[in-house]
Amino acid sequence: MSRTQEATGEVAEASVYRRYAAAANEREAALCCPVEYAADFLSVIPDEVIERDYGCGDPTPYVKRGDTVLDLGSGGGKLCFIAAQVVGAEGRVIGVDCNREMLALAKKHAPTVADRIGHANVEFRYGMIQDLRLDLALLEDELAKHPVRSSEDFLRLRHLQETLRHDHPLIEDDSVDCVVSNCVLNLVRQEDRKTLFAELFRVLKLGGRAAISDIVSDETVPEEMKRDPELWSGCLSGAFREDEFLKAFEDAGFYGIEIAKRA
């Protein structure tokens, strides 16, 4: 990997975190695209969550009653709260996000939604969607007790991460019926994307489904655009080239791949 690629990845991660942290506290109308959802599902979701939803589509029609659903990049929780109603009391919904502010927003309103729909079947977990084995909450607890102050501590940290991934995975293998995501995969830095799709495949049960709404391009995005933090965090310059997007699913082991809807 070149230094330019490393710098692009650093810009991507930092800009995404800052922009979405701010957007969790104050609505940013220009972030991603307006999406229409079924009004009956929205009626139980607090306005603060709806106002801070930044998706580009609606993958919830592909969720079934009784499913265990995993939402990658769950943000303020809107997609999870919709899915919670679709899967019913016998189903389960897990949202994963690495943005503390967005997680706080989702967790704040989860009890209200549970009261309104009559069952509590949603939980939110702190982690990176390209590393669904690593529970960042557990890692943070360990770092609070054993902070990194030396190279020896750093080596211990590496070992700790692998131990957590193995012994206490954030998302277990073969545990999910349907993975959904709404305009989030394009925010993952390019060097992590192969792992991202592998993780998506790992957590699905045999016969499981992935319903992904995302922004794609018909040509390769120029490098100078990828280095622009506003364009990347705005879901533009991180867009997958469409043929490469479909190939990434195929390479990870998926079959029956189709484009269900274009917008």
**For residues 22-34, average pLDDT:** 52
Whose structure tokens read 């607090």?
Answer: 46
Q: Is the per-residue pLDDT at 3 higher than 60?
A: no
Residue 230 — pLDDT band, cuts 50, 70, 90? confident
**For residues 200-208, average pLDDT:** 97
Selected residue with higher pLDDT from 49 and 52: 49
User: Model's pTM, two decimal places?
Assistant: 0.87
**For residues 33-48, average pLDDT:** 84
**pLDDT tens readout for residues 62-86:** 999 999 999 999 999 999 999 999 9
Question: d(Cα 109, Cα 119) in Å, to the nearest integer?
Answer: 14
Question: d(Cα 210, Cα 72) in Å, to the nearest integer?
Answer: 11
Q: What angle do CA 80, 83, 85 make, to 5 degrees?
A: 115
Q: DSSP code of 128?
A: B
**pLDDT tens readout for residues 109-134:** 999 999 999 999 999 999 999 999 99
Portion of the chain with pLDDT greater than 90, in percent: 69
Segment among 101-110, 139-148, 180-189 with least mean pLDDT: 180-189
Residue 144: which residues within 8 A CB-CB, separation 6 or more? none
Residue 24 — pLDDT band, cuts 50, 70, 90? very low
Segment among 25-34, 50-59, 90-99, 128-137 with least mean pLDDT: 25-34
Residue 18: which residues within 8 A CB-CB, separation 6 or more? 233
Q: Is the per-residue pLDDT at 6 higher than 50?
A: no
Residue 198 — pLDDT band, cuts 50, 70, 90? very high
Q: Is the per-residue pLDDT at 20 higher than 60?
A: no
3-state secondary structure of 217: strand
Nearest by Cα to 136 from 156, 104, 161: 161
Mean residue pLDDT across the chain: 88
Q: Is the per-residue pLDDT at 231 higher than 70?
A: yes
